[in-house]
Structure 1
């Protein structure tokens, strides 16, 4: 009975490990979507104060970023898939036995490139929607910028906390590391765009 319980605990740990890897990948994708879109909107907002331009820049960033993430993830996972299949075929040829059932089971356990691409694109889009949606309903420039920063900051804290939970890291350090990194990215983008505008480019 004790042996059975140990096996069950081991299986649960393996399952959690696999889930945490997917969750961590999704979290990184959402964080990238949030930060790149918010920074893009802040950069455009530094030189154009109308809501339409700022929101269109955010939409373009969402679509372009999601497509880029999906294609990059698809190519990466497909390459890993091909290398794993080639390695399995080499092992099978060295064994010299049929082993088709074993090889089939191993191939089914490999990550699906299409699923990985879709998950990556979806995670990026969800993160990008965080600063984009509230900005679409605020006409006043100062309030729009303030809301984008505030909403993005809250989401960054949440992502940092979730990342700490998955990685079993200290919550405060993880949250503020992500938050300060996001602030730096938005500030740099805003400052660079503003400087080019002041110089007349």
Structure 2
């Protein structure tokens, strides 16, 4: 965009360039921790909500519900972190071995080491995935716990757990879509419906 400036009776043309937009962001780089975070949050929310409703269906004591939910939170967070770490580390080992085989097949070139280092940086991080999974599970699990802990009436408590779980499922789906550049409505609806189905199956299993 050109701007004319009058200086001592003359006109001086100065060229001002509009800021150039950054190249399109590669959302796939977020996949290694975003997948673990969304999975962990949904798992924590669904499993602990189902556990609270299952315990509340047979025992109306709020302390029993909260203790069962807290035990599920701790056990689930540890299980998710360890499982994610082992699975991602296995994936990393497989990809590293494949990179080594591909490097041996190629003829030696100057930038081979640089290419290999760049590929290593793009590999998933087991520690990052495990931490994201455990933290997300805890965040998802603590929401229904807080909803149940401070409500005396049993029926109201059960209803609030269901409402909080449903709203949180929708929020998790929307946040995951925004971070990953995916359609918001489709992602939120998919997570909500999937969470309802999972909670129904888990609740039937606990009561059966």
What does residue 132 of structure 1 align with?
Answer: 145
Secondary structure of the 2:108 match is: coil
Greater helix content: 1
Q: Which stretches in structure 1 are left out of the alignment for 5+ residues?
A: 197-201
* Contact in 2 for aligned 1:135/1:147 (Cα 8 Å): yes
Task: Check if 1:45 corresponds to 2:56.
Answer: yes
**Which of 70, 87, 92 matches 1:76?**
87
1:90-130, CA deviations, whole angstroms, 9 ceiling, x for partnerless residues? 12222252733432332233121111111111111111111
Q: Which stretches in structure 2 are left out of the alignment for 5+ residues?
A: 1-19
Greater strand content: 2
TM-score by length of 2: 0.76
Secondary structure of the 1:46 match is: helix
TM-score by length of 1: 0.78
Task: Check if 1:87 corresponds to 2:71.
Answer: no
What does residue 199 of structure 1 align with?
Answer: none
CA separation in 2, counterparts of 1:108 and 1:18? Answer: 10
CA separation in 1, counterparts of 2:93 and 2:197? Answer: 39
CA separation in 1, counterparts of 2:184 and 2:115? Answer: 41
1:185/1:85 Cα in 2 relative to 1: closer, same or farther (>3 Å)? closer
Larger-Rg structure: 2
1:94/1:63 Cα in 2 relative to 1: closer, same or farther (>3 Å)? same
What does residue 120 of structure 2 align with?
Answer: 107
Task: Check if 1:66 corresponds to 2:77.
Answer: yes
What does residue 25 of structure 2 align with?
Answer: 13
Shift of 1:181: 3.9
1:84/1:193 Cα in 2 relative to 1: closer, same or farther (>3 Å)? closer
1:182/1:89 Cα in 2 relative to 1: closer, same or farther (>3 Å)? closer
* Contact in 2 for aligned 1:34/1:152 (Cα 8 Å): yes
Task: Check if 1:157 corresponds to 2:185.
Answer: no
Shift of 1:26: 1.6
Task: Check if 1:144 corresponds to 2:186.
Answer: no
Shift of 1:182: 3.2
1:114/1:178 Cα in 2 relative to 1: closer, same or farther (>3 Å)? closer
1:18/1:104 Cα in 2 relative to 1: closer, same or farther (>3 Å)? closer
What does residue 183 of structure 2 align with?
Answer: 169
Aligned length: 186
